[in-house]
């Protein structure tokens, strides 16, 4: 090769070295950069996944805390007192402890008594929970105020606070009055523990709904309509509202609950036919 030509090529290679090194240097930094973004993307997804799981967990906890009620010391006192009055009324007690025993006693009220007699027994039990003078004073002094609105609002709040041990979580809400106005004298029970555990429409009607309506109207001067929902076990208390005649009350015509043991046996005997009305209601 011509020495002159060889010299030109050497000089050309030398002149291209800085550019090649610059390109190589830039490329070597671009790969870690791409890798860095990929890693960050994975971490971001992981953080999002963890956040979503944590958020769902918090929401589940909040929902659970809204729907569960844990009885306290005072609630246990109420349960013991209520059960004691029930036992005194019917002369029988269950061997089961706590709430299960109370439900046994509630079923016992229905045995050997007509529906009307069971209702009367339950009214006497409710009356026995209060000093007689207190009921008389409330009916005479509080019930007439503002056309009964003050008394209705008061008993709604006392019921919501003091009866969750028996019924489960409940809240005060607004009810519509017959005159078209509204009043915060309602209590909504999310899922009545008494109905769910008793598994009986008749026990609900004759040892809770009808006696409670009678007790508040006759002995406290506060009319009340209770509306149990036998599909989801919720119940709406409407204080300050007069109940309809019993022949017009749809709750008294309800069929047995699906979980009612007696209804299950009757369906087996009748070849699976549905029971049209609870025989105890």
Give the model's pLDDT for residue 274: 58
Higher pLDDT, 180 or 66: 180
Predicted TM-score (pTM) of the model is: 0.73
**In this predicted model, what pLDDT tens digit does every residue of 138-166 receive, in sequence order?**
999 999 999 999 999 999 999 999 999 99
**In this predicted model, what pLDDT tens digit does every residue of 95-143 receive, in sequence order?**
999 999 999 999 999 999 999 999 999 999 999 999 999 999 999 999 9
DSSP 207-268: IIIHHHHHHHHHHHS--EEEEE-TTT--EEEEET-PPPPGGG-GGGGPPPPTT-HHHHHHHH
CA separation for the pair 214, 83 (Å, rounded) = 20
**In this predicted model, what pLDDT tens digit does every residue of 166-204 receive, in sequence order?**
999 999 999 999 899 999 999 999 999 999 999 999 999
Q: What share of the chain is helix, strand, coil (3-state, %, to 5)?
A: 65, 10, 25
Q: Does residue 266 carry a pLDDT above 80?
A: no
Higher pLDDT, 142 or 18: 142
- Tokens for 46, please give them: 């992981």
């Amino acid at each position: 090769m011509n020495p002159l030509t060889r010299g030109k090529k050497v000089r050309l290679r030398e002149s291209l070295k800085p550019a090649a090194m610059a390109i190589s240097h830039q490329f070597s930094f671009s790969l870690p950069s791409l890798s860095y973004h990929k890693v960050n993307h994975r971490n971001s997804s992981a953080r999002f996944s963890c956040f979503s799981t944590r958020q769902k967990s918090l929401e589940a906890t909040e929902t659970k805390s809204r729907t569960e009620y844990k009885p306290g010391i005072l609630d246990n006192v109420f349960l013991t007192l209520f059960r004691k009055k029930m036992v005194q009324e019917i002369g029988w007690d269950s061997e089961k402890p706590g709430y299960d025993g109370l439900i046994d006693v509630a079923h016992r009220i229905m045995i050997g008594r007509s529906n009307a007699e069971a209702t009367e027994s339950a009214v006497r039990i409710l009356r026995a929970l209060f000093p007689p003078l207190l009921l008389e004073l409330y009916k005479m002094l509080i019930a007439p105020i503002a056309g009964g609105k003050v008394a209705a609002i008061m008993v709604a709040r006392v019921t919501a606070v003091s009866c969750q041990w028996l019924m489960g979580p409940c809240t005060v809400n607004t009810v519509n009055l017959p005159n078209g106005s509204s009043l915060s004298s309602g209590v909504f029970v999310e899922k009545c523990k008494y109905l769910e555990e008793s598994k009986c429409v008749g026990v609900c009607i004759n040892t809770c709904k009808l006696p409670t309506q009678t007790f508040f109207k006759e002995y406290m001067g506060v009319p009340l309509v209770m509306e149990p929902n036998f599909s989801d076990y919720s119940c709406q208390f409407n204080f300050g509202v007069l109940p309809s005649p019993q022949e017009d009350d749809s709750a008294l015509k309800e069929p047995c609950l699906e979980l009612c043991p007696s209804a299950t046996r009757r369906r087996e005997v009748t070849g699976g036919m549905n029971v049209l009305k609870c025989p105890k209601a």
